[in-house]
Structure 1
């Protein structure tokens, strides 16, 4: 048998063996999922950082800084709420002025083991310098609004980003 004939036989045998043995490409190794956060403390620190950046963006938007976009920190109900609030302010010819200050952040709960980590925290805000202004420039801030605001904030992770998904007022004395 010639060299060329031997190569042909080898190729045919290899193909036949592959079909008989169910030859398939080796399966790619499945990566082991790693948690987004190594600890609850790390998760709460990241959540606080996101909330402080969000608050800075809200303050910038309220004070007319071009390009300020607090909505990039929001998702779900929080995003819907912000859109609704901006629409209500616009239709009522009102705007917010002043600076809200995050005084404290307390981690409340965290689920950091899944693909989509979630955290809940309490944010203590000083809103004493924030006013609601009408089209005439008059301060129409409700008198019953306190100087301090306490909110429960829910954060969700998606990919490498952490977003605020819900925010609600808290009646309590954590702050």
Structure 2
């Protein structure tokens, strides 16, 4: 099975990534900020983890919505990602749009742990749960690969901007053994 070391939306290209929630389009995302992203940076691993959790929860909510809408209006996720990460996410959303695909269901994550942190960055491992997510075509047919792994290991890095905003700078499927 193809296991890309790319961001979640690029994982969409492999038909294994995030799912969406049906309904009205949501507002454009704003970057996550919290007390953990104070002006002086993260002062503890706990604060860094809290900021990462908030940022990733915001990200999957918006990303799921975009994917549920077939990749339309992907700029809604821009404020949650670094420029490089946004460029890579955009590729996955464009793939959905150009191939008439969308995702149904909601992704979630758990088992997040800090690999490394400092005042402005957090590197984490987490388990992305796709068990409730299905890939469907224009006709509504389920085209989810039958051998898709429902719980996937990810390496997700975050950066605290000088403004206090916490952005995802890397969102990659873990290339090693599945720890989920």
Distance of 1:103 and 1:127 partners within structure 2? 11
Q: Indicate if the aligned counterparts of 1:124 and 1:151 stay in contact, CA closer than 8 A.
A: yes
Cα-Cα RMSD = 2.3
2:105 to 98, 104, 107: 98
1:120 Cα deviation after fit:
0.6
Q: Secondary structure at the match of 2:166?
A: strand
Alignment pair present for 1:158 and 2:165: no
Distance of 1:173 and 1:94 partners within structure 2? 27
Query: Partner residue of 2:48?
Result: 43
**Runs of 4+ residues over 4 Å off in structure 1:** none
1:57 Cα deviation after fit:
1.7
Distance of 1:37 and 1:100 partners within structure 2? 28
| Bigger fraction of residues in helix | 1
Distance of 1:55 and 1:150 partners within structure 2? 15
Q: What do the CA deviations read for 1:73-132 (whole angstroms, capped 9, x no partner)?
A: 1113321121111111111111112100112211111121xxxx1111012121011111
Q: Which runs of 5+ in 2 are unaligned?
A: 1-38
Q: Indicate if the aligned counterparts of 2:152 and 2:178 stay in contact, CA closer than 8 A.
A: no
Query: Partner residue of 1:54?
Result: 59
1:61 Cα deviation after fit:
2.9
Q: TM-score, normalised by structure 1?
A: 0.70
Figure out how many residues of one structure are paired with residues of the other and give that number: 138
Distance of 2:111 and 2:76 partners within structure 1? 23
Q: TM-score, normalised by structure 2?
A: 0.69
Higher relative contact order (CA 8 A, sep 6+): 2
